[in-house]
Amino acid sequence: MAPEQAEAILGQRVTDAEGTDIGRLVDVLVDATGQPQAAVIDFGGFMGVGNRKIAVHWSVLHFNPGDQKHKVTLEMTPDQIKTAPEFLNPNKAAAVVTPANTTPNSP
């Protein structure tokens, strides 16, 4: 697969709608059919302090294999990001932020 067609996303930088670097994509949550449902993004923090992970619905992400600098973009406002609940334990029900509303619902 050519780099313009498909890109590796684990560990990839995530940018917001304006192109600012906001975090990294660190995990993908798939359902029983292998369809990705949500991605876990690691935000913020400096020198290991203040990092947060949140789970966002797959549809909130846009992937741009051709664009070197903005391979993964997240369509959320800074306020939505701020209020998103933290994704903590992959073995518990995860609160996923969906595009339609800012209140989380569990899958």
Residues that bind another protein (CB under 8 A): 8, 10-11, 24, 26-27, 40, 42-52, 78, 81-83, 86, 88
* Nearest approach, Cβ of residue 53 and another protein (Å): 8
- Bridge partner list, 25: 41
Nearest to 10 by CA among 43, 42, 44, 57: 42
* Nearest approach, Cβ of residue 20 and another protein (Å): 8
Backbone dihedral angles phi then psi of residue 44, each to the nearest 5 degrees = 60, -165
Residue closer to another protein (CB basis): 60 or 84: 84
Residue closer to another protein (CB basis): 10 or 30: 10
Q: How many whole angstroms separate alpha carbon 15 and alpha carbon 60?
A: 12
Nearest to 107 by CA among 47, 56, 33: 56
Residue closer to another protein (CB basis): 2 or 8: 8
* Nearest approach, Cβ of residue 58 and another protein (Å): 18
